[in-house]
């Protein structure tokens, strides 16, 4: 006997039907010049060799390299049968002829890898996690390419990226790892956003978890340990949020911006012991946050389908980019362009150039004013004269 999966064949409340209709209507909008892909997009990463391209990870188990200007899929990476949650690219090759490697964390508890140029499958990293792999980053330590993964099992695993050898595990979180970032202050210079390859002997890693904690770790190519500000008290996690820490981003001052399921994004100031000095409130879970240093903006991605632009100096909401019709899962800055991805299976582009952002803000304000005017529109004046109206009223009375 066949079983239908068509939502129309099941009982649904009026609210759920209304929501389906709303999303269906919104899905046709072209805001952000959407690039439409076959399945939900769970992560986005930069192409360090070409700013006009990005990598995305999909729930269908595929990764793609997308050309932003044309929407062309310039590379397709296949193999996994489960959703891909996260991406990382190997550091700059030591030889100009050597290709980069693309890594993808997967629901199947492993990490997949491909030759980024030829798309040929490479090593599969297994045996490190007992649950979904949720976060990845790649760096170079002591001349060795290191891959760091965070899992829903609460473990951070450090791998030799070339051999696939599991070097060591770091335990401290009691729930799943959701985000990883390298502290730029531990490098001096040479890092852009904690996701790119870096050079050094020792780095400090920050990890965010669904246990609401942010922890700090000292990594080398051979061993790692959790950092402690005070040897007597031992490692103490940063507790800036009430629940899951979905994203970690360092700004140019080496302060830490966080996005959380407690419906806020925060700036944690290094010189104040990671105390929050800016809190950006949202109506729903905050999935990602990026810092536009040039424009002075903080941009956040929210489960309520919106991308918000905030004034960094004041913490005031400046503009909201509306276009996605499902949860926004990731953000990426490419020059003055903001790229967002969503489980609505679209990649959208938004200009943060001053004149473009101002124009978008004015257009949105006019649209809102138009909606208010339409809602409050007064009844139209009668086309009848006063005498005709009196005659009509008399006829209506007679009919009674």
DSSP for 264-280, written as a single string: EEEEEEGGGTSEEEEEE
Inside any domain, residue 101:
yes
Inside any domain, residue 361:
yes
- Of 66, 59, 68, the closest CA to residue 39 belongs to 59
For residue 304, what is the domain's CATH number? Answer: 2.130.10.10
161-192: pLDDT as tens digits: 999 999 999 999 999 999 999 999 998 543 33
Mean pLDDT of 221-241: 88
Inside any domain, residue 161:
yes
Distance of CA 313 to the CA centre of its chain: 23
pLDDT of amino acid 10:
61
Inside any domain, residue 68:
yes
For residue 381, what are the contacts with CB-CB under 8 A and spacing of at least 6? none
- Whole-model pTM? 0.86
Residue 269: which region, alpha, beta or left (left: phi > 0; alpha: psi -120 to 50)?
A: beta
Whether residue 197 has pLDDT greater than 90: no
Q: How confident is the model at residue 2 (pLDDT cuts 50, 70, 90)?
A: low
Whether residue 117 has pLDDT greater than 50: yes
Alpha carbons 31 and 339: distance in angstroms, whole number: 12
Inside any domain, residue 394:
no
Whether residue 7 has pLDDT greater than 50: yes
8-44: pLDDT as tens digits: 656 678 877 888 888 888 889 999 999 999 999 999 9
Average pLDDT, the chain: 89
Inside any domain, residue 245:
yes
Inside any domain, residue 22:
no
Whether residue 382 has pLDDT greater than 80: no
The two tokens of residue 177 are 């790892």
- Of 36, 72, 78, 39, the closest CA to residue 54 belongs to 72
DSSP-H helix ranges across 316-353: none
Residue the block writes with tokens 């991605």: 301
Residue range(s) defining the domain that contains residue 321: 28-371
Alpha carbons 179 and 248: distance in angstroms, whole number: 6
Inside any domain, residue 17:
no
Count up the domains in the chain and report the number: 1
């Amino acid at each position: 006997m066949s079983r239908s999966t068509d939502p129309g064949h099941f009982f649904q409340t009026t609210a759920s039907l209304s929501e389906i209709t709303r999303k269906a209507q919104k899905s046709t909008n072209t805001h952000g010049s959407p690039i439409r892909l076959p399945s939900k997009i769970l992560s986005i990463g930069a192409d360090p060799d070409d700013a006009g391209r990005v990598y995305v990870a999909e729930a269908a188990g595929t990764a793609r390299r997308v050309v932003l200007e044309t929407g062309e899929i310039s590379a397709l990476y296949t193999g996994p049968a489960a959703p891909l949650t996260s991406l990382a690219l190997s550091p700059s090759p030591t030889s100009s002829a050597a290709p980069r490697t693309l890594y993808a964390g997967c629901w199947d508890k492993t990490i997949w890898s491909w030759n980024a140029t030829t798309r040929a499958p490479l090593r599969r990293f297994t045996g490190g996690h007992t649950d979904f792999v949720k976060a990845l980053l790649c760096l170079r330590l002591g001349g060795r390419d290191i891959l760091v993964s965070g899992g829903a099992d609460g473990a951070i695993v450090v791998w030799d990226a070339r051999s696939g050898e599991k070097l060591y595990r770091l335990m401290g979180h009691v729930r799943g790892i959701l985000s990883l970032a390298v502290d730029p202050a531990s490098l001096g210079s040479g890092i852009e956003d904690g996701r790119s390859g870096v050079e050094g002997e020792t780095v400090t890693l920050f990890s965010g978890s669904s246990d609401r904690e942010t922890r700090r770790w000292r990594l080398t190519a051979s061993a790692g340990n959790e950092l402690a500000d005070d040897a007597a008290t031992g490692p103490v996690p940063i507790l800036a949020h009430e629940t899951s820490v979905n994203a970690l981003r360092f700004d140019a001052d080496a302060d830490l911006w966080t996005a959380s399921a407690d419906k806020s994004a925060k700036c944690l100031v290094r010189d104040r012991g990671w105390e929050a000095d800016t809190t950006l409130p949202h109506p729903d879970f905050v999935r990602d946050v990026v810092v536009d240093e040039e424009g002075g903006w903080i941009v956040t991605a929210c489960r309520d389908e919106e991308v918000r632009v905030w004034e960094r100096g004041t913490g005031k909401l400046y503009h909201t980019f509306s276009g996605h019709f499902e949860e926004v899962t990731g953000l990426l800055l490419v020059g003055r362009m903001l790229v967002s991805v969503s489980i609505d299976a679209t990649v959208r582009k938004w200009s943060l150039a001053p004149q473009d952002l101002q124009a978008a803000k004015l257009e949105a304000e006019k649209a809102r004013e138009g909606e208010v005017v339409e809602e409050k529109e007064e009844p139209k004046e009668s086309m009848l004269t006063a005498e005709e109206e009196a005659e009509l009223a008399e006829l209506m009375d007679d009919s009674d």
